[in-house]
Structure 1
Amino acid sequence: MPGPAQPEYHLYRWLWGSLDLLFPPTCGGCGRRGVHWCEQCQKQVKLIEPPICNICGQPWEFPGLCIRCSSTKPNFTALRSWALYDGPVREAVRRLKYRRNISLGLVLSQPLIELLFSLSWEVDMVIPVPLGVARLKERGYNQAVLIARPLALRTGVPCETQGLQRVRETRSQVGLSFDQRRDNVKHAFQAKQEIVSKHSILVIDDVATSSATLDACATALLAAGSDDIYCMTYARTG
C-alpha cells in the first residue's frame, strides 16, 4: 500500500499554489477563469465504476474478464482509469497535452491518488510512460511525468523517469485498429534492469484506449526483472 506523503509533496503543492496567485488558473474542462476544475465540469465527469474487467478495467457488464483479456491476457497485472475520455475530461487532457497548461498535471493527479489509496496494490516504484525524443523536444515536457510526480510524492513511492525509455519513435495511435496499435508500439520500450529489477511498478499515463502502449511498457519492465506491473490512467476511451 502507498505510504505517507513526503514533505516535498506539500512544497510541490505550495509552489503551484503560489503560481496561481501570479497567473490565475483556468478550468481544465471549459476555460473558466479562477479555478482549475469548476463545479459545472465536475458534474459532467463520467466516472468509471464497477462492473469492470478485472484486468484492463474497462466497463464490462459481466463479472470477471472482458473478451479481449480472456483471449489474450495482458502483461500487466491490472489497469484502472478514473473517468471516461469525454467532455471536460477530454478537454482537460488536451489542455495539459497540447496547450501547455502544465499546472493541470497536479490537478489530474488528485483523483488518481484517491483511486490508488482505494486499491490493494502493493507498489514500490512509479514510472510514467516515456515520450520519444522527437516528441519530447517538440512538446517540451511529458504530460505523464506531470501526473506521476505529484502522485509519487503524495504516496511516498519514488518516481523513476529513467527506468523506462522509448527506444524508437512511433506514429500516433489515433485512428489505428487494436492490432495496428499493438504492432506500432511493439519493442518500442526498453527498461533499465539496474533501476527496475525486483520492483513492483505502477505505470502512469494520461489516457488508455486499447492499452497496447501500457502492455508494451509492461513487457519491457518484466523483461528487465520487474515483479508485478500495475497501470493507471486519468482517462480511458469507452
Structure 2
Amino acid sequence: MAFVRRLLAAVSWRDLLSRRCRVCGDPVPPGPDGRASATADWPPRGLCPACAKSLSPRRGGFCPRCGAMEADPADDPDLCAACLLEPRPFSALAFHAPYGGLLRDMILAFKFGERPQYGAVLRDLFLLAFERAAARGVREGGTAPATPHAPVAPIAPIAPDVVIPVPLYPRRLAWRGFNQSLELARPLARKYGWPVDAQALSRIRDTRPQSTLSGRLRRENIRGAFAADPARVRGKTALLTDDVMTTGATVEAAARALLAAGASRVDVLVLAR
C-alpha cells in the first residue's frame, strides 16, 4: 500500500484523468465532447493534436476519379485531364490522405506486424474517407460533366452491393497471416450492413511486390494477376478496397477483372494515395 500511495503522489490528477493518444501515447486534452479541437468529422476520438494534424485528411486539390493531386489542397476536387480523356476501369476513388509521413509509417507498421494496435486507428480513417467522399458526392449532385470520352458517372463512391478486398496471393497471405485490405474494410461494411466477399476476387499469379518496381514495370507485373468469379459479382456494384494506391496499376487490374466478370460498376477505397 505504501508503494501505491507513493506512485499516486508522483502522478498528477491531470495525468490520471487525461486520455492517451491512440498513436503516440501523449495526453489528449479533453474537448467539449471528449475530443481535442474537434470539428464535424475530424479528428476521430483519441488522437492528440500533433497526430491529428499529421493524419489530417486531404479535402481538396485532387481528381475524384483517380486521386491525382494538384499543388493546392484548398482547390475543389475536379476531374483531371487524363480521366476526362481516358476513363479508368473504376468509377470513383476515395482516399484519406497522401501516402507519406506518419500515415505511411502507420500503414507499414500495421501491415508487417510491428504495430498491430495501429489497425484500429487506420480502420477509423478508412471509414471516414468513404463517408467524406460519399457526402461530397451527395452535395455536388454526384455526377461528372459529360464529354465525348467520359460519360456521365458519379464522382464519389456509391453504396455498394458488395465490398471486395484486393487479395493477396495464398503464399503471401499465409506468411503475413492476414489481408490488410480485408481488415480495413470490415468495420465500414459492418456499420452499413454491406456484405464482404473475400472470395469474389482471386490473385492467380504470385507477382513481385509492386513497391520494388517502377510505374511501367508495375503494370506489366500485375497484368493478368487477378480473376473474378462471375457468380459472385455479375450485375453488382463493387467497392474494391486496398491500403495504398500509388500508380494505380493494382487496383486497375483488379477492377478490370471484376468488370470482365460482369460487375456493373467498381469504386475504389484506399487509405493513402
CA 1:222–1:60: 2 relative to 1, 3 Å = same
Q: Which has the larger radius of gyration?
A: 2
1:58 to 52, 65, 68: 68
Q: Hey, what does 2:106 align to over in structure 1?
A: 92
Residue type of the partner of 1:195? R
* Structure 1 position 66, deviation (Å): 2.8
Partner of 2:97: 83
Residue 124 (str. 1) matches residue 161 (str. 2): yes
Alignment RMSD, CA only? 2.4
Distance change in 2, residues 1:167/1:26 (3 Å): farther
Within-5 A mapping of 1:196-235 = 196-235=233-272
Secondary structure in structure 1 of the residue aligned to 2:220 = helix
Counting aligned pairs with the same residue, the percent is 36
Normalised TM-score (structure 2)? 0.70
1:37 CA drift (Å): 4.7
* Shift in alpha-carbon separation, 1:64–1:104, aligned structure 2, 3 A: same
Displacement of 1:71 in angstroms is 5.0
Letter in 2 for 1:161: A
Aligned to 1:172: 209
> Which string of whole-angstrom CA distances, capped at 9 and with x for unpartnered residues, describes residues 190-227 of structure 1?
11111111110101111110111000110000011001
Cα distance in 2 for partners of 1:191, 1:154 equals 25
Residues 37 and 146 of structure 1, relative CA distance in 2, 3 Å threshold = farther
Does the CA-based 8 Å contact 1:113-1:154 persist in structure 2? no
Classify 1:71/1:101 alpha carbon distance in 2 versus 1 (closer, same or farther; 3 Å): same
Query: Within the alignment, does 1:142 sit opposite 2:179 as a pair?
Result: yes
Q: Which moved more, 1:187-196 or 1:114-123?
A: 114-123
Q: Distance between the aligned counterparts of 2:109 and 2:186, measured in 1? A: 18
**Helix, strand or coil: the match of 1:174?**
helix
CA change 1:161–1:33 in 2 (3 A) is farther
For structure 1, the 5+ residue unaligned runs are: 1-24
**CA offset at residue 56 of structure 1?**
0.4
Deviations 1:90-133 (Å, cap 9, x if unpaired)? 11101110125334333212223233233141312111110011
How many residue pairs were aligned? 210
Greater relative contact order (CA < 8 Å, ≥ 6 in sequence): 1
Structure 1 stretch displaced more, 137-146 or 67-76: 67-76
- Are 2:177 and 1:163 aligned? no
- 3-state SS, counterpart of residue 157 of structure 1: coil
Partner of 2:226: 189
CA displacement at 1:70 relative to structure 2: 4.3
- Runs of 5+ consecutive residues of structure 2 not aligned to the other structure: 1-19, 29-45, 138-157
1:54 deviates by: 3.1
